[in-house]
């Protein structure tokens, strides 16, 4: 059985398998990426950006086909899958439009006189290790800026998304990118370590689990390679007050249930001021309990399957651990009696530090709600996590919310809205959520040589 195979999570059907790369395949991919890098970096940035604009246009043209692959491979609802492809195209277009400006020389004014300028140069072939939960978006935010910058890409996608991986590679080829600029590799973890050790490869970017990020960071560190890591989160959704509790709960549901809860920046921990807590829990449980599981291709479906049977089983173990140790289930807490990797929307309270659900990331449709006495207690609980990716602060007073947001130890905080992503806004975390920043201006500067030229 190949490790790279498409399994429809709604039915359990094995759709297609792909052979894992041989060591010779990996050698040829590295050689091709390095050879192309020498000519690719020499192209004017405007030409590289022009090709990226063609890729964005082609992605929009193929959005239904690409979305179908996403839904088939990881179970995303069709509407969300199309939205993901559109967002990915917007990211490629952003770097097509803004890349030349972001990479322009930066004159300095030395105190000692004379001339000085900082120039932005690519550093070489990069390897990307991407996850299954956003098969197009994760690749776009890595490959888009780095290809425009003049680097070349070796891309190891999640083993459960091989058809999406092939489609992305074909899209760049059809957009006019030369062979070796973007190469899909169905590599093993051992082969990734071989790639990291190769002097022809300059850096690595990983979005995935802490284990995957740590393994790649260790290999990259051994060989002094630059890394960018995004390793998940357990984002707080802090409710300080509300002048429309129904709207606040609707935002919490959106933040928790998008992509069936399988998002690093999902609102996973609801931290609510005591005065609102009971009513918030009741309304959240009512709203999530009313959501029904169904075929992700059906427009009426509210809850799609999780990406795999293994993921659903792992989430069930985490929830059952909380139940066994005294947590209260307000809705859900079980898997529905139907074929597929489904999990019922679940609301838990009474979660304590002795439970896995307190410290671990719950990567699925499970919300944990905590009461707190005041905003100081809210911030303290929000920060009591090894993760620090995103977060939300809700208040009728936006200025109050902004002040509290500055005290939350995460890379991003959104006010009165669940954490999300936009092409021109930086995306990244702190603590065990990662190293480095993607998207926006910082996203194109992660794998550059910012070289000083002094005269």
**Which pLDDT tens digit goes with each residue over 117-153?**
999 999 999 999 999 999 999 999 999 999 999 999 9
Asked if the structure places residue 425 within a domain, the reply is no
Q: In terms of residue numbers, what domain contains 263?
A: 235-415
Asked if the structure places residue 64 within a domain, the reply is yes
> Any idea what the CATH number is for the domain that residue 129 is in?
3.40.605.10
Asked if the structure places residue 65 within a domain, the reply is yes
> Any idea what the CATH number is for the domain that residue 390 is in?
3.40.309.10
Asked if the structure places residue 9 within a domain, the reply is yes
Q: Is 29 exposed, middle or buried (0-12, 13-18, 19+ CB in 10 A)?
A: buried
Residues 400-427 have a mean pLDDT of 98
CA angle, residues 114, 120, 122, in degrees to nearest 5: 145
Same domain, 162 and 257: no
Helices 137-149, 78-102: crossing angle, 10 deg rounding: 20
Going across the sheet that includes 182-184, the strands are 182-184, 153-156, 126-129, 203-207, 226-230, 434-435
Mean pLDDT, the chain, whole residue set: 97
How far is it, in rounded angstroms, from Cα 185 to Cα 161?
12
Residues 302-320 have a mean pLDDT of 97
Asked if the structure places residue 335 within a domain, the reply is yes
Pairing outcome for strands 226-230 and 434-435 = antiparallel
Please give the pLDDT value at position 398. 96
The helix/strand count (H/E) of the chain reads as 15, 20
Please give the pLDDT value at position 288. 98
- Percent above pLDDT 90 for the chain: 98
Same domain, 136 and 219: yes
And the tokens for 256? 């928790």
What pLDDT, in 10s, does the model give residues 237-253? 999 999 999 999 999 99
**How many structural domains compose the chain?**
2
Residue 377 in this model has a pLDDT that exceeds 70? yes
Asked if the structure places residue 438 within a domain, the reply is yes
Q: Which segments of 209-273 does DSSP mark as H helices, in order?
A: 210-222, 245-257
First to last CA, the chain: 61
Please give the pLDDT value at position 1. 62
The catalytic site residues sit at: 230, 264
Residue 2 in this model has a pLDDT that exceeds 90? no
And the tokens for 352? 């304590």
CB distance 307 to 160 below 8 Å: yes
Beta bridge partners of residue 228, listed in sequence order = 205
Same domain, 324 and 411: yes
Residue 23 in this model has a pLDDT that exceeds 70? yes
Same domain, 181 and 287: no
Residues 270-286 have a mean pLDDT of 98
Same domain, 370 and 287: yes
Same domain, 74 and 38: yes
Residues 290-309 have a mean pLDDT of 96
What pLDDT, in 10s, does the model give residues 107-117? 999 999 999 99
Same domain, 311 and 336: yes
Asked if the structure places residue 424 within a domain, the reply is no
And the tokens for 399? 């200025």
Same domain, 198 and 321: no
Same domain, 283 and 221: no
Q: What are phi and psi of 42, to 5 degrees?
A: -80, -15
Same domain, 44 and 86: yes
What pLDDT, in 10s, does the model give residues 383-398? 999 999 999 999 999 9
Name every residue whose Cβ is closer than 8 Å to that of residue 222 and which is 6 or more positions away in sequence. Answer: 196, 197
Same domain, 249 and 181: no
Asked if the structure places residue 307 within a domain, the reply is yes
Same domain, 270 and 313: yes
């Amino acid at each position: 059985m190949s490790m790279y195979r498409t399994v429809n999570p709604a039915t359990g059907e094995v759709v297609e398998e792909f052979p894992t790369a041989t060591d010779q395949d990996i050698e040829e991919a590295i050689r091709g990426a390095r050879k192309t890098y020498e000519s690719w970096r020499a192209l004017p940035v405007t030409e590289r950006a022009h090709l990226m604009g063609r890729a964005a246009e082609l992605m929009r043209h193929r959005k239904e086909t690409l979305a179908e692959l996403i839904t088939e491979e990881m179970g995303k609802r069709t509407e969300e899958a199309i939205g993901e492809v559109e967002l990915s195209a917007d990211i490629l277009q952003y770097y097509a439009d803004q890349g030349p400006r972001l990479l322009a020389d930066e004159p300095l004014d030395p105190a000692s006189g004379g001339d000085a300028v900082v120039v932005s140069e690519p550093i070489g072939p990069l390897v990307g290790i991407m996850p299954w939960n956003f098969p197009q978006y994760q690749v776009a935010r890595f490959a888009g800026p780095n290809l425009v910058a003049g680097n070349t890409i070796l891309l190891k996608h999640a083993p459960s998304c091989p058809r999406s991986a092939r489609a992305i590679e074909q899209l760049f080829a059809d957009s006019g990118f030369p062979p070796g600029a973007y190469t899909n590799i169905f590599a093993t973890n051992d082969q990734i370590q071989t790639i990291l050790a190769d002097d022809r490869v300059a850096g690595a970017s990983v979005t995935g689990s802490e284990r995957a990020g740590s393994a790649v960071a260790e290999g990259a560190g051994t060989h002094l390679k630059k890394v960018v890591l995004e390793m998940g989160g357990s984002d707080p959704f802090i409710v300080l007050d509300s002048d429309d509790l129904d709207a606040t709960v609707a935002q919490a549901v959106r933040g928790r249930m998008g992509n069936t809860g399988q998002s690093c920046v999902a609102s996973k921990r609801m931290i609510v001021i005591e005065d609102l807590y009971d009513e918030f829990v009741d309304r959240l449980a009512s709203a999530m309990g009313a959501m029904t599981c169904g075929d992700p291709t059906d427009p009426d479906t509210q809850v799609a399957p999780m990406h795999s049977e293994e993921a659903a089983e792992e989430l069930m173990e985490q929830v059952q651990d909380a139940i066994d140790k005294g947590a209260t289930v307000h809705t859900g807490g079980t898997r529905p009696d139907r074929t597929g990797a489904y999990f019922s929307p679940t609301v838990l309270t009474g979660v304590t530090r002795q439970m896995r659900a307190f410290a671990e990331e719950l990567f699925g449709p499970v919300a944990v709600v905590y009461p707190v006495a005041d905003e100081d207690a809210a911030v303290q609980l929000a920060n009591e996590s090894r993760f620090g990716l995103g977060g939300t602060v809700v208040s009728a007073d936006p200025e109050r919310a902004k002040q509290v947001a500055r005290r939350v130890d995460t890379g991003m905080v959104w006010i009165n809205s669940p954490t999300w992503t936009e092409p021109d806004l930086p995306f990244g975390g702190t603590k065990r959520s990662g190293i480095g920043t993607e998207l926006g201006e910082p996203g194109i500067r992660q794998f550059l040589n910012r070289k000083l030229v002094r005269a």
